[in-house]
Amino acid sequence: MEKIQMKTPLVEMDGDEMTRVLWKMIKDVLILPYVELRTEYYDLGLLHRNDTDDQVTVDAANAAKHLGVAVKCATITPNEQRMEEYPQLKKMWKSPNGTIRAIMDGTVFRTPIVIDCVKPAVKTWQAPITIARHAYGDVYRAAELRTDVPGECTMTFRGEDGSEQAVSVQRVEGPAVWQGMHNKEQSIRSFARSCFQYAIDLKQDLWFSTKDTIAKIYDGRFKAIFAEEYEQHYKADFERLGIEYFYTLIDDAVARVIRSGGGFIWALKNYDGDVMSDMVSTAFGSLAMMTSVLVSPDGNYEFEAAHGTVTRHYYRWLKGEKTSTNPIATIFAWTGALNKRGELDGTPELCDFAKKLEKACLDTLASGTMTKDLIALAEPGFEARAVDSEEFLKAVASRL
């Protein structure tokens, strides 16, 4: 066939371990035979990050801002154990995802890939629920204090203009613990914009929930900024698309989510998003079926799988064993990026290819050919055949 052409390159961020192995296989078997692939390639593998003093991560993130679409492979975030495993590391480099998120100023949206043979733990859920977690401040940047004598704690803000605002937190008679949290209006606003923007992209309702009845100033400000952004910039588009922005209290939202049929985006503050994303992803099935996209407020996108580098499988693969690692979320990162590139460039053939590749994956699963992780989750009675990653990709390719 004549290969599908791309007008603009996308940013390709390579990664580590088993996902790096899958990365190459996916390109070779499912993309390069059909698409005249144009990418700006950045090697975010741990050793290359180390060689470049992590400059490559910064360059990749800037390229994503410039070209508008990126696809990223999972990467190792070094910890103590990794420092021993890779003695050549100059330092414990920061999480690449954190660096990229800070540069793109984006919000991460996680969406499960739902298939018939794996039923969500919540019976009413038919369509995926996308979680958007605000990734700045609150308890993650809090100052904490433990005291053991009676006394009073106050909170004081000193403005650079010399002004001062103070409030008494509490007077206590004995030992106590304290926490001072903050958030920035600019960060909340960016979060709101990314959420509205992505809801328009997906043509889905956006839910947002906080506890503004209790945290009247703090959560109240989140609520007000979302409302302002909606009224000023997004209401007309929402009405045109027939989608809804819905604000409710966090506890009411939790109850409604469980009773819902899914098919919407749920925006949450940092801590709520941390907790709820684990609950929702587990209830939908498996981390290996979870996609993730970083959306910046000005409409740049970075697509990836939500899972990590699948280290345990990699060490088996190094010993020459075949592994049954699930490539679906990484394939969907590629299709997400190709589809978005096609939308932005006005090349419908590219969007069409991305959709066909996704359908080939889902049809392969529906036919019962799947990796081992899914076999364990499949409904009783569903007849399935476990294959290794390579066989799975070949099965998808033959359908494609």
Residue 50 within binding range of ligand NAP, rule CB under 6 A: no
Nearest distance in Å: CB 6, ligand NAP? 25
> Do 178 and 169 meet the contact criterion of CB atoms below 8 Å apart?
yes
CA distance 275 to 76: 23
Tell me the two tokens of residue 150: 């009676």
Residue 97 within binding range of ligand NAP, rule CB under 6 A: yes
Residue 287 within binding range of ligand NAP, rule CB under 6 A: yes
Residues 6+ apart with CB under 8 A from 288: 305, 307, 326, 328, 329, 371, 373, 374
Nearer to Mg ion, 68 or 285 (CB): 285
- Beta strands 151-158; 143-147: pairing state: unpaired
Q: Which amino acid is at 301?
A: Y
Give the position of tokens 């004081």.
156
Nearest distance in Å: CB 156, ligand NAP? 39
HEC string of 40-55? EEEECCHHHHHHCCCH
Contact string 257-296 vs Mg ion (x = CB under 5 A):
-----------------x---x------------------
Nearest distance in Å: CB 81, ligand NAP? 9
301-340: which residues touch ligand NAP (CB under 6 A)? 304, 307-312, 325-326
Nearest distance in Å: CB 112, Mg ion? 15
Residue 288 within binding range of ligand NAP, rule CB under 6 A: yes
> Helical H runs in 293-388?
311-318, 328-345, 348-366, 372-375
Residue 363 within binding range of Mg ion, rule CB under 5 A: no
Residue 140 within binding range of Mg ion, rule CB under 5 A: no
> Do 285 and 120 meet the contact criterion of CB atoms below 8 Å apart?
yes
Residue 74 within binding range of ligand NAP, rule CB under 6 A: yes
Residue 210 within binding range of ligand NAP, rule CB under 6 A: no
Contact positions vs ligand NAP (CB under 6 A):
74-77, 97, 287-288, 304, 307-312, 325-326, 373
Contact positions vs Mg ion (CB under 5 A):
274, 278
